[in-house]
Amino acid sequence: MKTNRPENPHQAALLRLLRDGPRSRAQLNDLTSDGMSRSKLNAELDRLIELDLAEPDGFAESRGGRRSGLVRLSATTRFAAIDIGATSVDVAVTDGELNVLGHVSEPIDIRNGPAPVLDRVFDLVGKLREQGLYRQLNGAGIGVPGPVSFAEGVPVVPPIMPGWNRYPLRETVSQELACPAMLDNDVNLMALGELHAGVARQVDDFLLVKIGTGVGCGIVVDGRIYRGVSGSAGDIGHMMVDEDGPLCPCGNIGCLEAYFGGSALAAQAESAARNGTSPHLAARLAATGSVTAEDVAMAAAQGDPVAIQLIRDGGRRVGQVLAGLVSFFNPGLVIIAGGVARLGHILLAEIRSVVYRRSLPLATGNLPIVLSELEDVAGVVGAARLISDHVYSA
Ligand SMILES: [Zn+2]
């Protein structure tokens, strides 16, 4: 069984409006005043109901005169959202308005390659199906932690995903789940998630900086992801912050990621533990045999001066890069997200102070720099948003 798609741009625009919730025909008429007559609007809505993409939903409160019929997206609309990370995978099923109906998560190792990871993914999707969350999917959105050719739906030379280079991920998921699929990188999906249901709901132009194992940036222009010519826009982790800096795993010198991000922070924390400057970190190393970014956060919360300094140093480097981006892009909002963002307010304060000091007042006068609101679900909400943008287009 194949699900229907909108037949023209008018129908697609109506579906995107209904994605934000049920509307009366009168409200939809107000929102689409450009170029669609009331009779045309009603005909398109009736057609969407025929196609089982929308359905009647009672009547709106009277605005004086006849009560206007409410319309909503079909109650059977379902999207699968698949957020593949380096060490875990999240799978969710949403309704047409992108409310998460079910969400499961499992540890994986992306370095095992596509076959075993996708086995787990399809198992988790099957589990949600067995729970009765869907009978037929209208689409699936997929995120991976690496560069993606958006046009081809394949990862391209992803540094932390050996075995995935040019693997036909979009096609494989589309065939297995019998629905349209779209693939993007995880940072862009987090930005889409915050745009749809998080802290960027009212913002059309913003940046989302993800600080996880590595560092990346999602760029939203006019309410849409900006991907650049080949899909690599926002790959800021390998911008140079110091030409005399340390060697980065990418082969260049002094990259942002060589200074900050989960891997760099863990390495710096381990050396602080070994050289005896931080008793907190030394205790973690002795207890578990390694130190992680979370250990740094914990040590900082207990007032460990070395841990606090590591976070400040990292925040300053991110702030330097971000100050340049703010001057260049003039965003209305900057969101700090990803696992290392849980270092929280020490990190945020440092980033803010550098950006506010180094960018021009006109760019920062009205620029909130905030932490992610959706945190762990940003990726799956963004994946659902990505595929719904595709399905609700014509
Ligand atoms: Zn690099």
352 Cα–ligand 1 center, Å: 24
Which residue, among 7, 101, 3, has the nearest Cα to 47 in the 3D structure? 7
Least confident of 45-59, 63-77, 101-115, 367-381: 63-77
The HSE-up count of residue 223 (CA atoms within 13 Å, CB side) is 7
Only one residue has tokens 């460990």, namely 304
> Is residue 361 predicted with pLDDT exceeding 90?
no
pLDDT at 10: 93
pLDDT at 225: 95
Q: Three-state SS string across 341-354, please?
A: HHHCHHHHHHHHHH
> Is residue 324 predicted with pLDDT exceeding 60?
yes
Indicate whether this model's pTM tops 0.75: yes
How far is the C-alpha of 29 from the C-alpha of 27, rounded, in Å? 5
Instruction: For residue 62, name the pLDDT band (cuts at 50, 70, 90).
Output: low
How far is the C-alpha of 343 from the C-alpha of 227, rounded, in Å? 28
pLDDT at 198: 94
pLDDT by residue (tens digit) across 6-24?
Answer: 999 999 999 999 999 999 9
pLDDT at 195: 96
pLDDT at 64: 67
Q: What is the mean pLDDT of residues 104-133?
A: 96
pLDDT at 365: 83
What residues pack around ion ligand 1 (CB closer than 5 A)? 238, 248, 250, 252, 255
Q: Which residue has the higher pLDDT, 261 or 180?
A: 180
Instruction: For residue 1, name the pLDDT band (cuts at 50, 70, 90).
Output: low
Contact 42, 29 (CB under 8 A): no
> Is residue 186 predicted with pLDDT exceeding 60?
yes
Domains of the chain: 9-73 (1.10.10.10), 79-195+377-392 (3.30.420.40), 201-371 (3.30.420.40)
Q: What is the mean pLDDT of residues 64-88?
A: 90
pLDDT by residue (tens digit) across 134-167?
Answer: 999 999 999 999 899 999 999 998 888 899 999 9
How far is the C-alpha of 315 from the C-alpha of 326, rounded, in Å? 15
pLDDT by residue (tens digit) across 229-269?
Answer: 888 899 999 999 999 988 887 888 999 998 888 888 999 99
248 Cα–ligand 1 center, Å: 5
Instruction: For residue 53, name the pLDDT band (cuts at 50, 70, 90).
Output: very high
213 Cα–ligand 1 center, Å: 13
Q: Which residues 6+ apart lie within 8 Å of 323 measured at CB? A: 354, 355, 357, 358, 359
Least confident of 72-76, 362-366, 382-386: 362-366
144 Cα–ligand 1 center, Å: 19
What CA–CA distances, in Å, run from 15 to 9, 30, 94?
Answer: 10, 15, 16
